Structures are given as C-alpha cells and as structure tokens.
A and B are shown apart, each in its own frame.
Chain A
Amino acid sequence: MSKTALRQATREALANASVCSALGRFADNYVIAREQAYRHKDFEGLRREVARIKREAAERMEELADQFTREATRRGATVFRAATAQDAREYIARLARSRGIKTIVKSKSMASEEIHLNEYLKEQGLDAVETDLGEWIIQLSSQRPSHMVMPAIHLSRNEVAEIFSKEIGEPVEPDISSMVKLARRELRKKFLSAWMGISGGNIAVAETGTIVMVTNEGNGRLTTTLPPVHVIIVGLEKLVPRFTDVAPILEVLPRSATAQHITTYVTMITGAVPAVDPDGNYHEKKELHIILLDNGRTRMAGDPVFKEALQCVRCAACLNVCPIYQLVGGVFGDVYTGGIGTVLTAFFTDPQKAQQVQNLCLGCERCRDYCSGNIDLPGLIGELRRRTVEKEGMSYVQRVIFEKVLVNRGVFHRLLKAASRLQKPFTREGKIRHLPLFLAGLTEGRSLPAIAEIPFRERVDRLPRPGRVTDRVAFFSGCLVDFVYPGIGESVAKVLASLGFEMLCPEGQTCCGYPARQVGLTDSFAELARQNIAAFENINAGYVLTACPTCAEALKFLYPQLLADDPVWSKRARALAEKVTDFSSFVFAHREKLVPFMIPLKQKVTYHDSCHLKRRLRVTGEPRQLLIDAGAELVEMTPADLCCGFGGSYSIKFPELSRSVLDRKLQAVLGSGAEVVALDCPGCQMQISGGLDHERRPMRVMHTAEILASCLAGTAQAQDGKNN
C-alpha cells in the first residue's frame, strides 16, 4: 500500500457516513458503559495480573505449546503446530478432503481471517459458511471485518437488508429484528447439515489442554456441538500456563470488549467429546483438531520490544477509544485493525502495509489507559515508526528539516523569523485563514495563528518580576510558546511573580525534540535532548516549569528512556526529569498564596483535557481547581478528554483526519455552553482556537496560565490571539 492509497482510503472512509456514525455512536457509549461494567472491579489490578500471566506465557511459549499438545492429545484431540498461514490452510483443506467433507460452518475466528482461510477453502471447492451474524454479513458481501469484535459495525441496516435480499433472492425489509430471525433460519439449516465446524479460541490452557471461547450469539456453541469434526485455530499467544489464569482474562475481556460483565456463552473445551452427526449417528468421541498457529508469533516473542504485544487479549478497547479509528474504521489496519492491529499487521499479515498504516496513529496515547493487557501501545507504534524510518529512510526535505534545521538552534530560529515576515500577506488579526498550494490543507477547516513577530526568547528581559524574590523557577518555553504564543510565557511569568518566584529562561534551550521522535528520527531527538539537558544543568532553580504538556512528557519521561543506555547522559537526563513539572501542578501546590490576589473571573469556563497532560502527567484536577479558584464557573464538556486532533505534524500529514477529529471536539466544546475554553497545551490551543475561528465562533480559547494572569490585579482580561 502506498502513501497516496492510504490517504485516498481515509478520505473515502470519512465520506462514508455509516462508518463514521456507527463507530462514533458506539465509541461515545462505550466509555460510559465500560466504566459501569468495571464498577466494583479493580481494572488496574486485573490488567497487571493479565499482563503478568501473558508475559510469562510469551516467555515460555515453546514449552507451553508442548505441554498443551501433550494434555490435549491425552484428552483425545489432535494438535497440529502450523508454522505459517499456508500450513494451517492446507491442513484444514486436507482434513476436509480426506473425510469427504464439503459443508463447513465457522464461528468467528480472527486467526482464520489472518490466514485468509475462507478464500482458500473456496478455491479448494469447499463451502465454509460464517455463522456469526456480523461475519456472515461480511462474507456475503465479500468484505473484510472492520473491527475485531464487531466485524460489520461499518454497515447500516439498509445495507444489510440489501445484502440479505441478494442472498435469499427476495426482498428483505431493513428491520433488524426480522433480519436476525432470517439469519437464524438460514444459518440453522447450515448448522444441521455441516460435517465440519471451525472455530477460534480466546484462551488455550497448557496445564489442561483446554480451549476457552467467549461468544454471545451461541453460534460458537453450535459450531462446536453439531458437526462431528471440529477444528480449532488458535494463535500461540493465546496460551496461558494454568487453568486458574482463565479467570482474570475472562474478567477483563467482555468488560473491555463490549462492556458486558460476561458474554452470554463461555465455552471450555477439553479434548474430544460426544457428537451426533447429520445422519443421526452417535459418536462417542468426535474428531477434534487443534491448530496452534505461529505465523510470526515466535518471531514476535523473540523481539525485545514487540514481545509486549503478545499480552493482547483482543478486547479491541484500543480501537474503541481511538479517535482516528472512530473516523476511518477498518482503513486503520489490515486484518487486525486499530492500534494493536497496526503492530499485529507488521508481524502477522502485511509488514509493508503496516509501515504506511502506523502513520495514522495520532499519538494521543488514549489507548494505553484502556488496554486490558497493559501494553504500551503508543510506545510500540513509536518503535514501529522508528524502525520504518531506519529501514526505508525518509524524504530528503523531511530529513533536512529535522537533521539540519531543528538540531541547529541558530538556523531554526532564523528560519522562523523569516517565516514570520513571509506569512504577512496571509495574516489577518493574528490568524492565517488560507494558505496557497500544497500548504492549503493546513488551513482546511481551521485557521492558523500567525508566527509571533517577537518571539518569547526576545521578551525575557521585560518579563514581570516579583516584588521580593523568594525562590527561582526555570522555564522551558517550547516552540509553540516561543514562536506562536509568547503571551502564555508572559502569563506564566506574571503568575509566578505574584507567588514570589523569579522566572529564569536558560538561553541554550531549544525544541524538545518530540516532533523528531514522532517521525521516527531517534538520533535527532537525542541530539535535542542533550542540548536541552545541558542548557538547564547549571541553572540555580529547584523546578523546571513548562506550559506545554508534550514538552513536559519529553523532558520528564522520554529523555531518561531515550538516554537510558548512555553512561554519561542517563544520569543527567534523570536529574533534569526530576525537576520538571507542568504549570498547573506547580501553581496548584502554591495556590493558597495566589487566591487572595485574584479578581474573580465570573465567566463560564469549560476545560479541555490535553492528551499528554492527562495520560502521561496524570493531571486533570489541578487546573480545574485553579479555574474555580479564579472565580470561573466550571462547566464540563463531554467528553472532556477527547483529542483535539492536532498531534503535531499529524495535522500536516493527514489534514482531513485531523480536522474531523477536531470537528468532534468542537461539538463537545460548543455543547458545553461555556464562554471560554481553558486548556494547558499550546498545541491544543492552536487547533481548537483555529477550528472555532474557522467556524466564526466568538468563543475564547485560553491557556490556564493566561486565565490566571488575567485575574491578577493590574491586568485587563487577556484576549486570545492577541499575543503579538
């Protein structure tokens, strides 16, 4: 898949109303319903337990596969280790042929999708019918599932009615209940006449040779009960050591997948059991074949980074909460979709495609909080990106920007000054509303703020200072505060001054490097990290403050990780990291000193949770309390933590997607009825105020620092966009 093809596919998905609306509707309800399903349960504890079990299983994969094989064989099953997709496909076709079987029923199995089993069996003249309602619809319309748990979520009832009409050769009303009855009737015939059943498995217990399946419709139970031959395809990553390991996985899987406490049916099959075939003959023991599928899994287990992906239980929570998946559905991935799908695609189905698809990740990191297997999915996608760039390289222009410009402060800053002059023809009231040619996408659906004429670094001599200095704080401005929103930096200084802190702005500081990391250029990122560490090393201040959560994440979490193996720099990186804090957390700790000086704001304010502030720095309550302290009437928007769609260079790579995520955010913002949107991230500020300006909405978007500063005596209320 090429870059252009991917872009085209995302555009088509965005234009398909039923994809967006069904996924969006589900996603909105999912978070609330899931929360309820986990009431009285310790999700964090459960997922740590699941991660522990699955990590152990991944480390002992080979040994557990052997143990499983012994135990299942002892109970009458035939176990086959399939190294590749082709091995698995051939085994099944051969088995069917040798038994003279023509009719097969299948219950839902992602592993069978992964090995493209249906197409193969069809080529071999075998009739394999999908019996999960969603999968059947997909099969009848020759599509592929767009979601691991809800394969046909992208289709509307009208589309399903059309598909069914074609199948049965008579008109079908788009009434869901009667269409479900039709499926029951049609598929019951298939069940009763099938000689082979093929299913997947959710857990494979090595200790007992047991396969555990979770289903809701009951087709899984019929597939595993009626035909006298049963084939189970199960990936090696589904192995767990002990029978008791099943419990925590069964606790998280249905809750995270569909917000159910348990699925209607949980079936545990241990060895061959009795069956009655379509001719009515009783078999004391049916034929049970279990295919343990490798197809890239042992390679994944051997990878020091990606072995973590084997902790996945396929609940698809990462899809359900992903703002991009909600918009484009199955385009985000291959057989497996969404965040985890991207990683699985790289190892199991289509490495080339994965290299393109990983670009769709917006980097909001929301999925990490919801993962049932406690996987650092954003970290894995970052690694995929890094390896892609390492292997495939990067365009010359991009490379020059990052490796020559960004790491050279002088050049970078001169370039931005030049840009500030060049943008003049396109700038009105501090906003850029249209850009020519290939830059046009940037201003599609959103205005851009103009680059400040005087950057923050040239304003430091005129910053507010405390009457009496009690302590010092160093300030890391970051690019957006420096060049786009210098007013935020000035506001920070004003708030700090009222608390008695002098603000120091070390001159050697530069871009935090996050954008370089985002495009997979680890070396440039490390170079910028070292420059910043050096710049702040000899500053006489106990804290390093930033008003940008992405910069804070880089300085506090990513630098120590990045430089962990460097004997000299790792210690220096950790020393800096310990001092780093975000603006609101710092001020919150000193709020009792601030409150007496504030002139109450008396305005309705809604707060937007920036991804990196909430998900990395775990800060949500502090800025809200500060706003209340400032006399704001806080009104929550729902959802407050939905990404704004900025994602740094993402908005340049996928402007339409970025804008569509923004549209959902704007709905939430406008629905709150607030007069001011408060936030703690200049990136989100740029995106949201750009979107509101484009919609000609008069709502103001302000950084918490700007709001607090505006409430301090001697200032008129700060105006959004008047930073120049």
Chain B
Amino acid sequence: MAINKAVLPDTDRNLEKLYEEFVTRARALGAEVYRVPNLAQARELVGRLIQEMGVRKVALAESPLVTALDLATAVAGAGAEVTGGNPRERAEAADLGISSFEMAIAETGTLVQDATEINRRLVSMLPPVHLALVPTNRLVGTLQEAINSLAARGQIPGYLAFVSGPSRTADIERVLTIGVHGPGKVVIIFVDGGGSAGE
C-alpha cells in the first residue's frame, strides 16, 4: 500500500513510525502482519487468508469491529463455516479463531485485548491459528504508555490479555518450539479506519 509520507500530518507520521516498529517486532516473534486501508478491504483480506490457509471451520468472537466487518458472511464467502455448539465446542472445533484487539504496542509487537468476555479468550487460545484485528490508530509506542492508558481509564477490565506472537516454549533443552498450548500461528490485520467502527 503506497502512502506518500511527505504529505502526512505529524500524528499520522508518528503512526507510520509506530506501525513500522510494530511490524519489525511482531515479525521477529513469528507473527504475520497485514494492514488494510478500510473495512471493505479488511473483509476481503480475511476471506482470502481463510482460503489460502485452507481453513474449514472458523470461530468468531463478537465485537463492534467484527460485527462491522460482517465476518460471518466473509467466512461463508470463502467456503468455510462458522462453528456451532456451546462456546467451548465452537472454539475447540475451529481451525481458526478471529477476535479483535483494542490496542497495539509498537516496541514489543504486542496486542492488548479486554478479554473479559469468555468467547474472546476461547477463540484466541483454543484454535491452532488466531487472526487478530486491530484498528491502526490504536497503536501506542511503549508498554509504559499502554499501562498508563489502562490505569487512566478508571476500572481495570476483569481480564486483560497482552499477546505477543504465537505460543512458545523452550522447556526442552532450551530449543524454541512454537504452538505448545495456544495458537502456533498468529495473523494480525491492522485496519485503518477500524477505530471508528463503533469501538
């Protein structure tokens, strides 16, 4: 996506810098990172990734962004199905879980989610692949900023999840191995304009 950086206002230029830093860190941790300019293209990309990864069953955790993207339709359009049953069964049966995050931290390549709602936790942990959506304008520079911003909000959410890349272990002979308990693959899509989607 070509953006002419010379004509960007300062805040946007800062956002570009944060985005670049995030991408470098998150890729170093083994995450895949994409960015799309609007909701329509986000929907399209989700459909394409589902096809490319050969995903058959998808578990969705509702959120304003997920709703705004009408992902159920996108999943069906890509030839996959949204799983059924109780929340555990839905997540456990899926090849892919999709949820949205509220914040991204550039210096560590971290996504932050209010995961109080149980579906968000289940779809981001049980399936082997997780697709995380995050509005681009929710990027902050540092962990310190993220903590301060959470502290300033007043009541701390019941379950806050900070996620940086795929699940990993080095417990046997210090050899790094991906995907031990949580997803072995994490795909992140930054959605420009996603922050105004009722979040």
Using Cβ atoms and an 8 Å threshold, which residues of chain B touch A155? Answer: 172
Asked whether A180 is an interface residue with its Cβ less than 8 Å from the other chain, the reply is yes
Using Cβ atoms and an 8 Å threshold, which residues of chain A touch B181? Answer: 131, 184, 187-188, 191, 217-219, 221-222
Binds B, one of A121-129, A275-283, A347-355: A275-283
Asked whether A264 is an interface residue with its Cβ less than 8 Å from the other chain, the reply is yes
Asked whether B173 is an interface residue with its Cβ less than 8 Å from the other chain, the reply is yes
Of A184, A218, A224, A261, which is within 8 A of B108 by CB? A261
Using Cβ atoms and an 8 Å threshold, which residues of chain A touch B161? Answer: 221, 265-267
* Interchain CB contact under 8 A, B168 and A244: no
* Interchain CB contact under 8 A, B156 and A210: yes
Interface residues on B, range: 35 or more
**Which of A151, A218, A282 counts the most chain B CB atoms within 10 A?**
A218
* Interchain CB contact under 8 A, B125 and A157: no
Asked whether A78 is an interface residue with its Cβ less than 8 Å from the other chain, the reply is no
Asked whether B72 is an interface residue with its Cβ less than 8 Å from the other chain, the reply is no
Whether A268 contacts B160 in the complex (CB less than 8 A), given A137-B171, A176-B175, comes out as yes
Whether A258 contacts B170 in the complex (CB less than 8 A), given A180-B180, A273-B118, comes out as yes
Using Cβ atoms and an 8 Å threshold, which residues of chain A touch B29? Answer: 264
* Interchain CB contact under 8 A, B179 and A184: yes
* Interchain CB contact under 8 A, B171 and A151: yes
Using Cβ atoms and an 8 Å threshold, which residues of chain A touch B158? Answer: 75, 269-273
| 8 Å CB interface, B83-123 against A | 85-89, 92, 107-110, 116-118, 121-122
* Interchain CB contact under 8 A, B25 and A176: no
Asked whether A554 is an interface residue with its Cβ less than 8 Å from the other chain, the reply is no
Asked whether A86 is an interface residue with its Cβ less than 8 Å from the other chain, the reply is no
Bound complex: CA of A510 vs CA of B22, how far in Å?
61
Asked whether A521 is an interface residue with its Cβ less than 8 Å from the other chain, the reply is no
Tell me what chain A mostly uses at the interface: helix, strand, loop, or mixed: mixed
Whether A152 contacts B168 in the complex (CB less than 8 A), given A268-B160, A276-B88, comes out as no
Of A150, A187, A280, which is within 8 A of B171 by CB? A150
Interface readout for B163-174 with A: 1 if CB under 8 Å, 0 if not?
111111111111
* Interchain CB contact under 8 A, B86 and A264: no
State how many angstroms separate the Cβ of B138 from the closest Cβ of chain A: 17
Using Cβ atoms and an 8 Å threshold, which residues of chain A touch B169? Answer: 133-134, 180, 216-217
Of A243, A266, A269, A280, which is within 8 A of B162 by CB? A266
State how many angstroms separate the Cβ of A630 from the closest Cβ of chain B: 41
Of B110, B159, B180, which is within 8 A of A268 by CB? B159
Asked whether B148 is an interface residue with its Cβ less than 8 Å from the other chain, the reply is yes
Bound complex: CA of A328 vs CA of B88, how far in Å?
44
Using Cβ atoms and an 8 Å threshold, which residues of chain B touch A274? Answer: 116-118
Asked whether B2 is an interface residue with its Cβ less than 8 Å from the other chain, the reply is no
Asked whether A435 is an interface residue with its Cβ less than 8 Å from the other chain, the reply is no
Asked whether B143 is an interface residue with its Cβ less than 8 Å from the other chain, the reply is yes
**Which of B143, B148, B160, B182 counts the most chain A CB atoms within 10 A?**
B182
Whether A218 contacts B177 in the complex (CB less than 8 A), given A132-B171, A271-B158, comes out as no
State how many angstroms separate the Cβ of A305 from the closest Cβ of chain B: 32
* Interchain CB contact under 8 A, B180 and A177: no
Binds B, one of A246-254, A402-410, A616-624: A246-254
Bound complex: CA of A176 vs CA of B118, how far in Å?
32
| B residues adjacent to A (C-beta < 8 A) | 25, 29, 85-89, 92, 107-110, 116-118, 121-122, 125, 143-144, 147-148, 150-151, 156-175, 177, 179-183
27 contacts between A and B (CB under 8 A): A26-B174, A137-B172, A157-B175, A176-B175, A176-B177, A179-B172, A180-B179, A188-B181, A208-B156, A210-B156, A216-B168, A216-B169, A217-B169, A218-B183, A222-B182, A243-B147, A243-B151, A247-B144, A251-B143, A264-B29, A264-B165, A266-B110, A267-B162, A273-B118, A276-B86, A280-B85, A280-B88
> Given known contacts A192-B92, A218-B167, A268-B159, what 6 new A-B pairs fall within 8 Å (CB)?
A22-B173, A152-B172, A218-B183, A264-B29, A270-B159, A278-B88
The 9 A-B pairs at the shortest CB distance, nearest first, are namely A218-B182, A134-B171, A280-B86, A266-B162, A218-B181, A268-B160, A273-B158, A218-B167, A133-B171
| A residues adjacent to B (C-beta < 8 A) | 22, 25-26, 75, 131-134, 137, 150-153, 155-157, 160, 176-177, 179-180, 183-184, 187-188, 191-192, 208, 210, 216-219, 221-222, 224-226, 242-244, 246-247, 250-251, 258, 261-276, 278, 280, 282
